[in-house]
Amino acid sequence: MRSYKHRLFLAGLALLGVLGGLFAYTQQQKPLDPYEEAMRQRQMYLETFGVLPGELYAEEGKELFFRKGPSGKTLEECDFGLGKGKLQGAYAVLPKYFPDSRRVEDLESRVYTCMQTVQGFKPAQIKRDEVKAITTYIASFSSKAKMQVVPKHPQELALYNLGRELWYHRAGARDMSCAVCHDQYAGQRVRLSPVRSPKQGLGSEWPAYRFEADKLYTMEDRIAFCYESIAIPAPAFYSEPYIALTLYMLAEATKAGKSFEELPFFTR
Amino acid sequence: MKRRTLLVMGLLLGLGLSQVNPFRARLEAALHGGGHEFARVMLAQDKGQALCSQYRDRLPPDLVPQFLAEQKALIKYPKDGKLLGDWKNGEKVFTDPKRGNCYACHAGDPKEVAFGTMGPSLTGYGQRGTSEPVVRYTYEKIYNAWAFVPCSLMYRGGVHGLFTPEETADLVAYLLDPASPINRR
């Protein structure tokens, strides 16, 4: 019942988004500034529904966070980077090394790990949508937080170096790498979309609701989207390439003193 | 006894030859962690892609001449030898996200407002005329951008088969034909 209502609500929102988009596209003479367009849409959602879609995902994530797993435990028993039960600001220090799993994890893979090791779920029982919602809930405690990703542990340094290597790795039928777009040509546009570099704060928006897709995107979803758009099949979720790239990008953004946006963000 | 020594020597030699540096091994493990398809495409780098990655897209000057020559050698031409084709079909390839996708980075027809700015504007490109060197340069540049600018952002559409040699000639016409919307005033 609840989820049915939720879906209806989202469908209504999507329709509004499409209509809004159509209106905007037929009215335009000059290209729209996509950022302004997102802010306009956000305002429309707020005025019509009094709530943003991202908040609904966070709400769902909260319920799942306090749901008992097969072991009888909730995710309150999981350390998300600042110690058990501490969520305030935790997202801003990730990815980092976790002694219990002995690997570097971003928030999404950490949720996935704890659902297994703490809550006793089997990998096949863990739904991607649930991990996304829980990630959104936890990240909302780092809304507008200053990024604090500073690799120190040897494994963090190793993953930072891996991330940098992936960043420059040119492959696929479109000869692309992250760096050619997000460093060399940062500040330019692909079609109408402006592209940022890590030093300009790349990655500060996720998790976010993308009205163009009518979906919630985490950082891993967003990286997957770029891989697919450059003819490279996206890596499996929770795998090292995502964690390494995220660590690299957010460490660079941290050096430049960047902060996260309002999380979950609302974007194009 | 002798055979055993030989065997051991052979094994050692094999080990020595297959020794990859530890960072490379670590990278490959991470790529495989991303799944079969991801690893396959990432590990299928050709020589040019590998060099550009290694040097972070800034080749040392002494490597440039050979790089350009090798890229030039990858260019194939239409069977009938005509490098200037049909601009109307060229427009389709130019626009198609699965083939040219040129608007991702370039301005073209002034009526199209949703163009990228990573590449130079191609509006009015036909002002250069249709002399043989201009046609040949345009053809080769579109077929393999790296034959002129090593490690350019612009992908090697012809080399990867995103469009055929004939379609490349159509793209050339789209840029150079006076009747093309790119050149109409």
Work out the percent of chain A whose per-residue pLDDT is above 90.
76
Q: Which residues of A touch B108 (CB under 8 A)?
A: none
A11 bridge partner residues? none
Model confidence pLDDT, tens digit, residues B102-161: 999 999 999 999 999 999 999 999 999 999 999 999 999 999 999 999 999 999 999 999
Strands A96-98 and A103-105: antiparallel
* Confidence grade of residue A14 (pLDDT, cut at 50, 70, 90): very low
Of B144, B145, B115, which is closest to residue A188 (Cα–Cα)? B115
pLDDT at B4: 63
Whether the CB-CB separation of B138 and B86 falls below 8 Å is answered with no
- Residue A149 within any structural domain of the chain: no
Residue A131 and residue A206 in one domain? no
Encode pLDDT of A57-96 as tens digits.
999 999 999 999 999 999 999 999 999 989 999 999 999 9
Same domain, A75 and A177: no
A226 catalytically annotated: yes
Do A109 and A134 form a contact (C-beta atoms < 8 A)?
Answer: no
Judgement on whether residues A263 and A159 belong to the same structural domain of the protein:
yes
Residue A102 resides in a domain: yes
Q: Where is the domain boundary, A92, A117, A142?
A: A142
Tell me which residue range forms the domain holding A252. 154-267
The dihedrals phi and psi of B167, each to the nearest 5 degrees, come to: -70, -30
Determine, for residues A170 and B26 on separate chains, whether the beta-carbon distance falls below 8 Å: no
What is residue A48's predicted lDDT score, i.e. its pLDDT? 87
A190 vs B35, B104, B162: nearest CB: B104
Q: Is residue A205 part of a domain?
A: yes
- Check if the beta carbon of residue A134 is closer than 8 Å to that of residue A65: yes
Confidence of residue A19 (pLDDT cuts 50, 70, 90): very low
Count of CB pairs separated by less than 8 Å, A with B: 109
| Identity at B27, one-letter amino acid code | L
One domain for residues A95 and A15: no
Query: Which residues, 6+ apart, have CB-to-CB distance to A145 below 8 Å?
Result: A89, A91, A92, A259, A260
Look at residues A117, A142, A167 and tell me which one is the last residue of a structural domain: A142
Residues A229 and A261 reside in one and the same domain: yes
Please state which CATH number belongs to domain B87-176. 1.10.760.10
Average pLDDT value for residue range A8-22: 43
Three-state secondary structure of A150-181: CCCCHHHHHHHHHHHHHHCCCECCCCECHHHH
Q: Do B162 and A192 touch (CB under 8 A)?
A: no
Shortest alpha-carbon distance between residue A230 and chain B (Å): 10
* A82 and A12 within one domain: no
Same domain, A158 and A261: yes
* A216 within a domain of the structure (yes/no): yes
d(CA B144, CA B164): 12
The beta-carbon contacts of B2-5 under 8 Å, at least 24 apart in sequence, are none
| A126 located within any domain | yes
Neighbours of A126 (CB within 10 A): 16
Q: How close is the nearest chain B Cα to the Cα of A189, in Å? A: 5
Q: A182 to chain B nearest CA, in Å? A: 11
- Comparing A232 with A214, which gets the higher pLDDT? A232
CB A159 within 8 A of CB A127: no
Would you call B138 helix, strand, or coil by DSSP? helix
Q: What is the pLDDT of residue A29?
A: 53
Q: Which among B53, B115, B116 has CB closest to A170?
A: B53
Rounded to two decimals, the ipTM of the complex is 0.91
Does residue A240 share a domain with residue A163?
yes
B44 touches chain A (CB under 8 A): yes
The CA-to-CA distance between both ends of chain B, in Å, stands at 86
Structure confidence by residue, pLDDT tens digits, A127-153: 999 999 999 999 999 999 999 999 999
Q: Which of A78, A178, A181, A226 is catalytic?
A: A226
Cα distance between residue A138 and residue A80, in whole Å: 9
Give the three-state DSSP class for B159: coil
Single out the residue of A128, A144, A108, A147 nearest to residue A265, CA to CA. Answer: A144
Q: Is residue B9's pLDDT more than 70?
A: no
Cross-strand pairs, A215: A210
Give the H or E element holding residue B25: helix B22-33
**pTM of the entire structure?**
0.91
Is the same domain home to A208 and A237? yes
- Number of compact structural domains in chain A: 3
| Residue A127 resides in a domain | yes
pLDDT score for A28: 43
Averaged pLDDT for residues A197-214: 94
pLDDT at A2 over 90: no
B146 close to B47: Cβ distance less than 8 angstroms: no
**Structural domain includes residue A147:** no
- What integer is the mean pLDDT of B165-171? 98
Q: Judge if A14 and A72 occupy the same domain.
A: no
Mean pLDDT value across chain B? 93
> Cα–Cα–Cα angle for A7, A42, A192, nearest 5°?
105
Residue A30: the pLDDT is 60
Mean pLDDT over residues A21-46, rounded?
A: 69
Tens digit of each residue's pLDDT (9 = 90 or more) over B23-59: 999 999 999 999 999 999 999 999 999 999 999 999 9
Q: Quick check: B177 and B87 in contact, CB under 8 A?
A: yes
Give the C-alpha distances (Å, rounded to integers) separating B22 from A164, B25, B29.
16, 5, 11
How far does Cα A71 stand from its chain's mean position?
A: 28
Residue A103 has pLDDT above 80, yes or no: yes
**A77 Cβ contact partners less than 8 Å away, ≥ 6 residues apart:** A84, A85, A114, A118
**Same-domain pairing of A34 and A91:** no
A28 touches B at CB < 8 Å: yes
- CB atoms B27 and A162 under 8 Å: yes
Beta carbons of B139 and B110 less than 8 angstroms apart: no
**A 190-249 residues inside an 8 A Cβ radius of B:** 190-192, 195, 227, 231-236, 239-242, 244
- Specify whether A250 is located in the same domain as A168: yes
Compare CB distances from A192 to B33, B41, B114 and report the shortest one's residue.
Answer: B114
Question: Residue A127 maps to which CATH number?
Answer: 1.10.760.10
Query: Quick one: pLDDT at residue B127?
Result: 97
Q: Rounded distance, CA A163 to CA A151, Å?
A: 12
* Element containing residue B9 per DSSP (H, E): helix B2-18
Q: Which of A34, A41, A36, A40 is nearest to A15 (CA)?
A: A41
Whether residue A220 is predicted with pLDDT greater than 80 in this model: the reply is: yes
Position A251 pLDDT exceeds 90: yes
Domain end (from A122, A142, A162) = A142
pLDDT, residue A18, reads 42
Residue B6: pLDDT band by 50, 70, 90 thresholds? low
Which sequence spans correspond to the domains of chain B? 20-54, 87-176
